[in-house]
């Protein structure tokens, strides 16, 4: 049985841990707010982009085919998976959920006899996927030094992907990230970005069937627009991920703090019991000593 001193030390150490997890939770909460704001601020752009894209594909669709990024290569033999995860751990199942989704997808594709290539964004995804698919990872991008994710980061990733596509490196590209539903719920999501799934009809305040004039030609605008749209999709994924990571970290740290609290309670009870037992023992010794006289 542990001595009183051991128990005291144990309690002190759990208390210290609790303080750390508590602080991490608060940091995550503050960061979460900022990440959410960033994600919200980016929303108008991607929405408008979607609307404009829908309009223009309608215009182009009627007279010939769009650029290759949109129509694809006509095959689906080589798949590229872009897996976006967090840079840091200690955020519950966040990273492993995304990685698991990507891994299942990769296994399924391999079972169908397709070639799989993987680009990981974020250190944790690389660490997890390296175990099973180290031969398949063609590139990895770390955003560890990046304080706030800017559009430039997403653009750089998109450019890599597009360059690879233009070199005929793959046929289909799928983006894996975690959609931020709420603080306690992040849904790992797979989204195909190349060939771009034809956007649904423009909703709401669309052109209302107005005939646009295009300057320059619609095809030219489209070939400018599609790469940009890919950047936007990746940017959105990164922002959602950032918010999701912080949300996951917050609830993970909240749990840890609570567990540490429970543990302290249990240890304190054991400590008190032992102290009592010792006092009783000492009393008995004194009394029986006095009686013996």
**Which residue's CB is nearer to another protein, number 112 or number 215?**
215
Is the separation of the CB atoms in 1 and 275 below 8 Å?
A: no
Size, binding site for another protein by CB under 8 A: 33
**Which residue's CB is nearer to another protein, number 94 or number 235?**
235
**Which residue's CB is nearer to another protein, number 45 or number 108?**
45
Q: Buried (b) or exposed (e) across 11-29, using 16+ Cβ within 10 A? A: beebeebbeebbebbeebb
**Which residue's CB is nearer to another protein, number 211 or number 293?**
211
Least distance (Å) from another protein to the CB of residue 126?
A: 25
Q: Is 84 a catalytic residue?
A: no
Backbone angles phi, psi at 178, to 5 degrees: -115, 125
Least distance (Å) from another protein to the CB of residue 49?
A: 6
Q: Which long-range contacts (CB under 8 A, 24 or more apart) does 69-73 make?
A: 69/162, 69/165, 69/194, 69/195, 69/196, 69/223, 69/226, 69/227, 69/230, 70/195, 70/196, 70/198, 70/222, 70/226, 71/195, 72/171, 72/172, 72/194, 72/195, 73/168, 73/171
Q: Distance (Å, rounded) from C-alpha 265 to C-alpha 231?
A: 51
When binding is defined by CB under 8 A, the residue of 18, 55, 120, 178 that contacts another protein is 55
What does DSSP assign to residue 167? T
Return the residues of window 148-167 that contact another protein according to CB under 8 A. 150-151, 154
Candidates 43-51, 102-110, 119-127, 162-170 — which segment interacts with another protein by CB under 8 A? 43-51
When binding is defined by CB under 8 A, the residue of 7, 24, 32, 42 that contacts another protein is 42
Going by C-alpha positions, the residue among 48, 52, 93, 94 that lies closest to residue 240 is 94
Q: Which of 35, 91, 173, 232 is catalytic?
A: 91
Return the residues of window 206-235 that contact another protein according to CB under 8 A. 207, 210-216, 218, 220-221, 224-225, 228, 231-232, 235
Q: Distance (Å, rounded) from C-alpha 210 to C-alpha 245?
A: 42
| Structure token digits, residue 140 | 């990895």
**Which residue's CB is nearer to another protein, number 104 or number 217?**
217
238 in contact with another protein (CB under 8 A): no
Place of tokens 């690389």: 126
Return the residues of window 69-98 that contact another protein according to CB under 8 A. none
Is the separation of the CB atoms in 281 and 14 below 8 Å?
A: no
Q: Which residues bind another protein (CB under 8 A)?
A: 38, 41-42, 44-46, 48-49, 51-52, 55-56, 150-151, 154, 205, 207, 210-216, 218, 220-221, 224-225, 228, 231-232, 235
């Amino acid at each position: 049985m542990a001595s009183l001193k051991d128990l005291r030390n144990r309690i002190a150490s759990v208390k210290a841990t609790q303080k750390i997890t508590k602080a991490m939770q608060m940091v995550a909460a503050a960061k979460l707010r900022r990440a959410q704001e960033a994600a919200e601020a980016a929303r108008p752009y991607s929405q408008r982009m979607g609307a404009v894209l829908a309009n223009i594909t309608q215009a182009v669709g009627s007279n010939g085919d769009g650029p290759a990024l949109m129509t694809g290569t006509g095959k689906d033999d080589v798949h590229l998976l872009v897996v976006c995860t967090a840079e840091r751990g200690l955020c519950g199942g966040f990273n492993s959920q995304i990685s698991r989704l990507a891994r299942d997808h990769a296994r399924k594709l391999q079972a169908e006899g397709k070639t799989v290539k993987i680009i990981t964004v974020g250190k944790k995804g690389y660490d997890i996927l390296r175990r099973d698919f180290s031969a398949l990872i063609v590139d990895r991008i770390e955003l560890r030094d990046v304080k706030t994710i800017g559009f430039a980061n997403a653009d750089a990733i998109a450019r890599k992907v597009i360059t690879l596509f233009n070199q005929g490196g793959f046929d289909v590209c799928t983006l894996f990230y975690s959609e931020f539903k709420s603080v306690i719920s992040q849904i790992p999501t797979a989204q195909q970005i190349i060939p771009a799934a034809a956007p649904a009809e423009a909703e709401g305040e669309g052109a209302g069937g107005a005939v646009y004039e295009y300057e320059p030609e619609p095809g030219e605008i489209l070939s400018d627009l599609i790469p940009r749209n890919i950047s936007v999709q990746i940017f959105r994924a990164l922002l959602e991920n950032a918010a999701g990571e912080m949300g996951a970290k917050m609830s993970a740290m909240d749990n840890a703090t609570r567990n540490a609290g429970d543990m302290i309670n249990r240890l304190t009870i054991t400590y008190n019991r032992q102290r009592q037992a010792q006092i009783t023992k000492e009393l008995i010794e004194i009394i029986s000593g006095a009686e013996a006289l």
